[in-house]
Amino acid sequence: MNPTFTIGRIAGIRIALNWSWLIIFALIIWSLDASVFPAQDPGLSNTTYLVMSVIAAIVFFLSILLHEIGHSIVARRNGMEI
């Protein structure tokens, strides 16, 4: 069994996720929803905290993805196999 699944390609670079990223994604959402955002912005609804947490987690993972794509593009430009 392959622990990763391909979600697509960006600039010809295969993008795949390991199943453990789903657990990390859920833990980030839970942490932000349960403690960070309620302490930072008290008085909002639970749904608002959850939506804020999901958006923050997505933006965090997209920033990691863009960072790693940058590494791949530079490596390919320098003739390295990616």
Burial of 39 (0-12, 13-18, 19+ CB in 10 A): exposed
* pTM for this entry: 0.85
Model pLDDT for residues 4-42, shown as the tens digit of each residue: 889 999 888 899 999 999 999 999 999 999 999 999 999
Which of 68, 70, 71, 74 is flagged as catalytic?
68
Span 39-58, average pLDDT: 97
Q: How far apart are CA 5 and CA 17, in angstroms?
A: 5
68 is catalytic: yes
pLDDT, averaged across the chain? 94
Q: How far apart are CA 1 and CA 44, in angstroms?
A: 43
